[in-house]
């Protein structure tokens, strides 16, 4: 079993031992080459699949078009989505480990990559809001990876972060196991709400998540924010899956 695999199996122990202790005992392993020290080492960073044009100007789905079919045919509730990478190779593996294998120590580096991207590709926004996780899943996982990213980007870019502004009103099962796109869309509609209308009114929000696939989750978050009076809602994610419908 790989080192990461063993570490994943140890994540249950982390609840007992404390994650920071576990993080200290087990150094990060590069998702690209397996080298020790970082979730993506300096040489593998140069090989990451950068998202470059052409892509949909609205949802950033890669493809030889100005707008993808979905964005051409429907009015999105978000103003746009941007991401530094395509969801493949080492960044995909790193995101999966960060999200599902308890590799919380990946957060600072992943957040820094997002902050650097936002620095050189500014989006309109006053406040960063992580895509919320249902409290049941949060209990299981121990952390919301989107919140860790948003907090890091906020620190690095001097923006406000409002991790409590959105919440999940009901538990949505794992999206990856739901093959049908329409069913996935139904699952997330109305499943997110704002905790404070006053907190959303008049704000320009940047939603933060690790990866965007169908855009359904960001759409739902943007809908809740705009109903509460948000002026604009952009999505900022580490990677965009585009074309592959893997679930969020």
Candidate residues 44, 51, 94, 188; the one interacting with Zn ion per rule CB under 5 A: 44
Q: Give 41 or 153: the residue with its C-beta nearer to Zn ion.
A: 41
Q: Does 149 participate in binding Zn ion (rule CB under 5 A)?
A: no
Site for Zn ion in 69-108 (CB under 5 A): 71
Q: Does 68 participate in binding Zn ion (rule CB under 5 A)?
A: yes
- Closest among 95, 114, 138 to 4, alpha carbons compared: 95
Q: How far is CA 45 from the centre of its chain?
A: 19
Question: What would you measure as the largest C-alpha separation in the chain, in angstroms?
Answer: 51
Q: How far is the CB of 173 from Zn ion (least distance, A)?
A: 25
Residue 28 phi, psi dihedral angles, 5° rounding: -60, 150
State the burial class of residue 160 (Cβ atoms within 10 Å of its Cβ: 0-12, 13-18, 19+): exposed
The 8-class DSSP code of residue 34 comes to: -
Q: Does 66 participate in binding Zn ion (rule CB under 5 A)?
A: no
Candidate residues 13, 21, 25, 33; the one interacting with Zn ion per rule CB under 5 A: 33
204-212 and 192-194: which strand pairing? unpaired
Q: How far is the CB of 245 from Zn ion (least distance, A)?
A: 14
Query: What is the spatial distance between Cα 231 and Cα 24, in angstroms, rounded to a whole number?
Result: 42
Q: How far is CA 228 from the centre of its chain?
A: 22
Q: Does 211 participate in binding Zn ion (rule CB under 5 A)?
A: no
Q: Does 56 participate in binding Zn ion (rule CB under 5 A)?
A: yes
Q: Give 68 or 133: the residue with its C-beta nearer to Zn ion.
A: 68
Candidate residues 4, 28, 29, 32; the one interacting with Zn ion per rule CB under 5 A: 32
Q: How far is the CB of 184 from Zn ion (least distance, A)?
A: 16
Point out which span in 10-18, 44-52, 197-205, 221-229 binds Zn ion (CB under 5 A). Answer: 44-52
Q: How far is the CB of 50 from Zn ion (least distance, A)?
A: 16
- Closest among 6, 244, 11 to 105, alpha carbons compared: 11
Under 8 Å between Cβ of 116 and 62: no
What tokens appear for 80 in the block? 């746009």
Point out which residues bind Zn ion (CB under 5 A): 30, 32-33, 35, 41, 44, 56, 58-59, 61, 68, 71
């Amino acid at each position: 079993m790989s080192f990461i695999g063993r570490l994943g199996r140890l994540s249950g122990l982390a609840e007992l031992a404390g994650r920071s202790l576990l993080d200290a005992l087990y150094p990060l392993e590069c998702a690209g080459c397996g080298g020790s020290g970082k979730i993506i080492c300096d040489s593998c960073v140069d090989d990451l699949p950068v998202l470059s044009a052409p892509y949909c100007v609205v949802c950033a789905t890669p493809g030889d078009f100005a707008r993808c079919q979905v964005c051409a045919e429907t009015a999105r509730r978000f103003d746009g989505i941007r991401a530094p990478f395509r969801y493949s190779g080492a960044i995909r593996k790193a995101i999966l480990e960060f999200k599902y294998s308890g590799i919380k120590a990946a957060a600072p580096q992943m957040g820094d990559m997002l902050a650097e991207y936002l620095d050189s590709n500014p989006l309109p926004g006053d406040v960063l809001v992580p895509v919320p996780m249902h409290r049941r899943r949060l209990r299981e996982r121990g952390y919301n990876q989107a919140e860790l990213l948003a907090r890091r980007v906020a620190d690095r870019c001097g923006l406000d972060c409002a991790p409590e502004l959105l919440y999940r009103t009901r538990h949505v099962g794992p999206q990856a196991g739901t093959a049908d796109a329409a069913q996935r869309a139904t699952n997330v509609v109305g499943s997110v709400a704002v905790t404070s209308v006053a907190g959303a009114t008049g704000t320009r929000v940047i939603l933060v998540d690790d990866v965007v696939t169908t855009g359904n989750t960001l759409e739902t978050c943007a809908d809740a924010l705009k109903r509460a009076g948000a002026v604009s809602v952009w999505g900022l994610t580490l990677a965009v899956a585009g074309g592959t419908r893997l679930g969020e």
